[in-house]
Amino acid sequence: MTKEVELKLFFKAQDYDLLVKILDSLDGLVPKQTKLLKNAYFDTKALQLRHWDMGLRIRSFENNTKEQTIKTAGQVAGGIHSRPEYNARCIGDVPDLSLFPVEIWPKNTQFAKLQEELYCLFETNFKRNIWIAKQGVSQIEVALDQGDIIAGSNHESLCELELELQNGEEASLLSLAADIALKIAVRLGKASKAQRGYRLGGNSALASVADLKPLPVLASSCEKEERTAAIGLALENWQVLDGLLSAAADIATEAELWSRFKSNLSYIDSSLEPLGWQALNTMPCWTLLILELNRQGRLIQQWHSLAYGQAQLALVNLLRD
């Protein structure tokens, strides 16, 4: 078993070539290889694995080898994803569940029935460019993915940059991400490839305002831990609203979401000083972000701004301390 600890960044498809050049030029990054990866994701008709917060796939490599992987329930804290995963070589077109440790399964799992009901729900097929980065005592794999998510006749483009900690300190992920965000517009990624595939195939509900976390009213006597947790919830809301605004279909919906978005950012902004984090809202990226959000416009305009991703990463850095 390994524990996947990563930071996911989204970027605009038209910036792919520029991002490759930037990664090639950054100190401490060594290009390793380019892979073409085909990934088939499996579940049952009743979405039993999804219910258990598990993700199951077979990854096919260019040398005709295959690896099956299952990821069990994890967490996203302060923008950093952490999730246990188990890998095994496989030869068939359907994962062999007996190759995974028995202790990862819920009690009383009916293995034969689960195995029989597995089928492929969707695929994620993409080109992956890999660099290895040295950040102090840490080593990070930098994976740049571009391709498609395919569920039946539905297709969705995939443009992601994943920074995965191979060994060392989580802070190194943020340090490297901040260096990248100085040169190209990025934003924190929330939904995994699997989550997006389930949604594309109609096997999971689309994000909605119901996914927004209620933000507590913080009294002046609140402890630091309570305030920090509240800002963490507001960061999660930021990412949900980010996705909702990008998909808004009409002016009325967009206007309502903008109002929620600005209110959420104001909540964060007003919570910084009691924590002693007021240095953030005087940073150029934060000041510019707040200024731009006070002007009406589509969110995609903000994604073209370096300040957007820089402000998100600066906030994540505070939450990790």
Give 77-122 pLDDT, tens digit per residue: 666 767 789 999 998 899 999 999 999 999 999 999 999 999 999 9
Per-residue pLDDT, 246 = 76
pLDDT digit string (tens) for 299-308? 667 777 899 9
Percent of the chain with pLDDT over 70: 95
Q: Please, what are the domains in the chain?
A: 2-200 (2.40.320.10), 209-320 (no CATH)
Instruction: Specify the pLDDT at position 221.
Output: 81
Close Cβ partners of 302 (under 8 Å, ≥ 6 residues apart) = 289, 292, 293, 308
Decide which of 236 and 293 is more confident: 236
Residue 51 phi, psi dihedral angles, 5° rounding = -60, -35
Would you say residue 207 has pLDDT above 80?
no
Tokens 């300040």, residue located = 307
Per-residue pLDDT, 41: 96
- Asked if residue 273 has pLDDT above 80, the reply is yes
Amino acid at 118: L
pLDDT attached to residue 278: 84
Q: In this predicted model, which residue has the larger pLDDT, 21 or 257? A: 21
pLDDT of residue 258: 85
Residues 129-181: pLDDT tens digits? 999 999 888 999 999 999 999 999 999 999 999 999 999 988 899 999 999 99
Q: List the beta bridge partners of residue 165.
A: 140
How many CA atoms are closer than 13 Å to the CA of 254, on its beta-carbon side?
11
Do residues 73 and 55 lie in contact, with contact meaning Cβ atoms separated by under 8 Å? no
Tokens, residue 298: 């589509």
Average pLDDT, the chain: 89
